[in-house]
Amino acid sequence: MERAAAVEKDLTDPRTLRDAKLLAALGREHQHLQQLVSLSQRLARADEELAQARELLATDDPDLAAEARFEVARLESAIADAEEQAKPLLIPRDPLADRSCIMEIRAGTGGDEAALFAADLLRMYTRYIERKGWKIEMLEYSEGTKGGVKEAVMKVDGPGAFGEMHWESGVHRVQRVPETEAQGRIHTSAATVAVLPEAEEVDVAIDDKDLRIDVYRASGPGGQGVNTTDSAVRITHLPTGIVVTQQDQRSQLQNKAQALKVLRAKLLDARLQAQQAERARLRKSQVSTGDRSAKIRTYNFPQSRVTDHRINLTLHDLPRIMDGDIGKLIEAMKLADTEERLREDA
């Protein structure tokens, strides 16, 4: 609890108040530590009450002994619940977990059906994010055939957005009968999801000499001036070969700013992926491998079944999940990750 007191002191330091980023970081840490302090205090009170209740079990008064047995059972259950709540708080937090994120959804193998499924995933995530009260900013949208989505890139702005949504990174597979299938045969197709933490300028230094910037005329629907001027921007990061395009904004300047935002996130993500690959080499991880090529989930429409392959969890509630009710899947991943990391630290 010494750290909680130190953070509270730092929050009132005039130097902290002049540094917006430091103030925000300390504020997030203070909130996290206060949860731990509150749980510790609850556990201490419950342990003390439990000891008193156990002493009364030996009383000669049958009514008082019965009440004591009830209290012992209630307090033991409350302590177990508090200890479960404390587990994830005892694990060192990912410093990027509280950030906003950038989500990329792309149609994979399966032609038109893959694009339609990508559109379903976009709708699923949009509804979930809106219910969380977070904001969505569409950075890039490329329509596929028959109303599907070829590619969608969006910024999700909200506290803890990356920590919540990064579990969705990977290959999502769908099994269903396409509307165009006359024989009623089940087809399998896929879409990929990538979730990147929003990068700040202090995270990634980009040298202008490492960039090749091309401008061209935007294509597709747009307002006045969008399709008649060279407003679209393509930025190539020469050292890594990463290419980012942006054409949805009205001006070249706006498109360049958005493209740099996405590029910065991709460069930070590449660094994190390299670090994660090294950690994975040293220890096998069944949950947080971060392998974007791994099949993480299957959506089986005929059986109304969704299976997360990372933790062998199957839910028979596909309509609600496709309507954005993915909280159970995310919470199950968090729990599995917490238990795995606690085993490693034991």
Distance CA 65, CA 24 (A): 51
Regarding predicted confidence, which is higher, 230 or 121? 121
Distance CA 54, CA 66 (A): 11
Residue among 201, 205, 196, 246 nearest 226 (CA) = 246
How buried is 202 (Cβ within 10 angstroms: 0-12 exposed, 13-18 middle, 19+ buried)? exposed
What is the pLDDT confidence band of residue 218, given thresholds at 50, 70 and 90? confident
How far is the CA of 116 from the CAs of 125, 262, 269, 282, 302, in angstroms?
14, 25, 27, 39, 17
Residue in the structure block whose two tokens are 């976009």:
122
Q: How do residues 132-152 score in pLDDT, each as one tens digit?
A: 999 999 988 999 888 899 999
Distance CA 103, CA 192 (A): 10
Q: How do residues 178-187 score in pLDDT, each as one tens digit?
A: 876 767 788 9
What is the pLDDT confidence band of residue 282, given thresholds at 50, 70 and 90? very low
DSSP-derived 3-state class of residue 185: coil
Distance CA 123, CA 111 (A): 19
Query: Quick one: fold of 101-198+288-345?
Result: Alpha-Beta Plaits (3.30.70)
Distance CA 231, CA 212 (A): 16
Residue in the structure block whose two tokens are 């730092």:
10
DSSP-derived 3-state class of residue 246: strand
Q: Which residues contact 319 (CB under 8 A, 6 or more apart)?
A: 304
Sheet holding 135-143, edge to edge: 135-143, 149-157, 101-107, 187-197, 170-176, 295-300, 305-308, 313-315
Regarding predicted confidence, which is higher, 250 or 269? 269
Q: Are 252 and 230 in contact (CB under 8 A)?
A: yes
**CATH of the domain spanning 208-274, picked from 3.30.160.20, 3.30.43.10, 1.10.3720.10, 3.40.50.620:** 3.30.160.20
Q: Are 296 and 98 in contact (CB under 8 A)?
A: no
Residue among 321, 331, 286 nearest 300 (CA) = 321
Residue among 268, 267, 266, 313 nearest 287 (CA) = 313
Give me the torsion for CA of 329, 95, 17, 37, rounded to 10°. Answer: 70
Copy the structure tokens of residue 276. Answer: 């994660």
Q: Are 177 and 302 in contact (CB under 8 A)?
A: yes
Q: What is the mean pLDDT of residues 332-339?
A: 86
Q: Which residues contact 284 (CB under 8 A, 6 or more apart)?
A: none
Please check the confidence at residue 314 and state whether its pLDDT lies above 90. yes
Q: Are 79 and 134 in contact (CB under 8 A)?
A: no
Please report the pLDDT score of residue 293 as a whole number: 60
What is the pLDDT confidence band of residue 288, given thresholds at 50, 70 and 90? very low
Residues 54, 58, 62: CA angle, nearest 5 degrees: 110
| Cβ neighbour number for residue 196 with a 10 Å cutoff | 27
Point out which residues pair with 154 in neighbouring strands. 103, 138
Please check the confidence at residue 224 and state whether its pLDDT lies above 50. no
Please report the pLDDT score of residue 284 as a whole number: 45
Q: What are phi and psi of 263, to 5 degrees?
A: -60, -45
In one-letter notation, the amino acid at residue 201 is E
Q: Are 317 and 306 in contact (CB under 8 A)?
A: yes
